[in-house]
Amino acid sequence: MLIDFFYSLRAAQLPVSVKEYLTLVEALRESVIAPSLDEFYYLARLTLIKDERYFDKFDQAFGAYFRGVQQLPSDALEVPLDWLEQRLRRELTPEEKAQIEAMGGLDKLMERLKELFDEQKERHEGGNKWIGTGGTSPFGNGGYNPEGVRIGGKSAGNRTAVKVWEARGYRDYDDQVEIGTRNIKVALRRLRRFAREGAADELDLPDTIRSTAANAGWLDLKMVPERHNTVKVLMLLDVGGSMDDHILRTEELFSAAKAEFKHLEFYYFHNCVYDHLWKNNRRRHVERMPTWDVLHKYASDYKLIFVGDATMSPYEVLQAGGSVEYNNPEAGAVWLRRLADRFPHHAWLNPEPEGLWEYRQSVSIIRQLLADRMYPLTLAGLEAAMRKLSK
C-alpha cells in the first residue's frame, strides 16, 4: 500500500524522493506513531514534504488516496459541552423554523448527535437517521438538510451547516498570480494619492530647465524625491469554505493590490470577523492577532477593504457563539461595527454574483451593518468601491 501511496504522490507532481520514502518506512518500523491515520498523515507530511508550498497539494493527494479509509477517531466522539449548552437562535424563514422546531430546536439537535455517536458502530450512506453521507440526516456530509452538522467530508454545495466538525486547513492567497488583464489594477488606481517622500533621487526636468536658463546656460540639476502612492490599505480576506469557489478572482485582486499599494497590510478571517485574525493560514491556530490589536495598531486614515462572499448562517453574524469553528464570545456584528467605526473609509468586495445577494440573508445583514458599502468583485464594482474609499 505504501508503494502505491508513494507513486500517487509522484502522480500528483509532488517532489518526493526514494530516500524520503525510505525514511517514512523506517519511522513506521520503529513504531514512532500509533496506528492512526491522522498520525500517519503528519508523519508522512513531515518525512516526504520539505517545502510548505506543497502542503496544500499533499493534502489533496493524501485525501484522494485514503478516501473511505479514515474513520472517526475516538476523541471525536466526545461532544464539546459548549456545543450542547449554547442556545443559538437563527433568523430563518417560517418554513426553516418549522423544520428545526420539529426536532426540538438546536439543543435537541446536538443532544441527538451525541446519542447517535454512542449508538452508531459502522459507516452509513443515505437515509435520514444515522451519521453518514448522501442522505437527509442532520449529521454527516454530501447530502442535504436545512440545519445540520457537517462531519468528515466536503459540503455538497448547500452550505447550511450549523457547525462543521473538522479541523480544516486553508491555503494562503497567492500574491504572485499573473493578472490576465490590467483591468483590476486600473480600477485600483482610482484609489491613489501621490506625494514625494524620501531622498531627492529623481531628476526634476522642468525645474532643471528653469534653473539652467536663469543660470546663463550653466547646467543646474534639480532633484526631487520619487513620487509614491501614499494611500494606506488594510485588507481583510475571507478564506476557506464557500470562498473556495472564488480563489482565482480573489488571488488576482490580492496580487494586484500588492502591486499597486506600497502601504498594504492584510489579515485573514473565516466567514465573519471575530476576536482574532491571522496572517498565515498554515499557522492560524498558533499565530493569531487579536482583533483589538489590529484596531489599535493602524491609524484611522487606513482604507479598510473586506473581501468575502458574506455567505454564512445569519447567526454567525448576529449571535455570540455563532462561529462554525469555535465558541466566539462576541457576535461578528459587534466586530464589524468596531472596524467600521475605527476606519471610516471602508468597503466590502463580494465575489459572489450580485444577482444572488438577495437570496443570502447574511449578505443583507452585513450590507446593513456597513451602510450598504458592499460592491461586487467586478470592474464596475471595483471602480465604485474605489470612488467611495477615495472620498
The parent domain of residue 314 ranges over 183-189+230-390
371 in helix, strand or coil? coil
Assess if residue 170 is contained within a domain: no
Tally of structural domains, the chain: 4
Assess if residue 154 is contained within a domain: yes
Q: Which of 65, 84, 112 is the last residue of a domain?
A: 65
Q: For residue 382, which of 191, 173, 179, 181 has the smallest C-alpha distance?
A: 191
Digit-coded pLDDT (tens) for 192-246: 654 445 566 677 788 888 888 888 888 888 877 766 667 899 999 999 888 988 9
Assess if residue 172 is contained within a domain: no
Q: Which of 5-9, 112-116, 362-366 has the highest mean pLDDT?
A: 362-366
Which range among 78-87, 154-163, 230-239, 329-338 shows the weakest confidence by mean pLDDT? 78-87
Q: Confidence band (pLDDT; 50, 70, 90) for 177?
A: very low
385, 241: one domain: yes
For the chain, give the mean pLDDT: 76
46, 124: one domain: no
Give the C-alpha distances (Å, rounded to integers) separating 142 from 125, 146, 243.
10, 13, 18
Give the C-alpha distances (Å, rounded to integers) separating 153 from 47, 143, 377.
26, 11, 29
Digit-coded pLDDT (tens) for 254-298: 888 888 888 899 999 999 999 999 998 888 888 899 999 999 999
H helix or E strand, kind and range, residue 233: strand 232-238
382, 281: one domain: yes
79, 55: one domain: no
Assess if residue 214 is contained within a domain: yes
Q: Confidence band (pLDDT; 50, 70, 90) for 306?
A: very high
Rounded Cα–Cα distance for residues 346 and 338 (Å): 12
210, 151: one domain: no
Do 184 and 381 form a contact (C-beta atoms < 8 A)? no
The reported pLDDT for the residue numbered 79 is 41
The reported pLDDT for the residue numbered 258 is 86
Interior angle at CA 389, CA 388 and CA 391, nearest 5? 70
Q: Confidence band (pLDDT; 50, 70, 90) for 74?
A: very low
Q: For residue 389, which of 238, 191, 144 has the smallest C-alpha distance?
A: 191
**Dihedral sign for Cα atoms in the order 23, 25, 27, 29:** negative
Assess if residue 251 is contained within a domain: yes
41, 97: one domain: no
384, 289: one domain: yes
Whether the per-residue pLDDT at 76 is higher than 70: the answer is no
The domain that contains 348 carries what CATH number? Answer: 3.40.50
The reported pLDDT for the residue numbered 351 is 93
The whole-number average pLDDT for the span 357-377 is: 94
Global pTM exceeds 0.85: no
118, 212: one domain: no
The reported pLDDT for the residue numbered 269 is 95
Which range among 11-20, 123-132, 168-177, 306-315 shows the weakest confidence by mean pLDDT? 123-132
Whether the per-residue pLDDT at 98 is higher than 70: the answer is no
248, 307: one domain: yes
Q: What percent of the chain has pLDDT over 90?
A: 25
Rounded Cα–Cα distance for residues 228 and 199 (Å): 12
The set of long-range contacts for 132-138, using a CB threshold of 8 Å and a minimum separation of 24, is 138/103, 138/109, 138/112, 138/113
288, 155: one domain: no
82, 144: one domain: yes
Digit-coded pLDDT (tens) for 26-61: 888 888 888 777 788 888 888 898 877 788 888 888
290, 336: one domain: yes
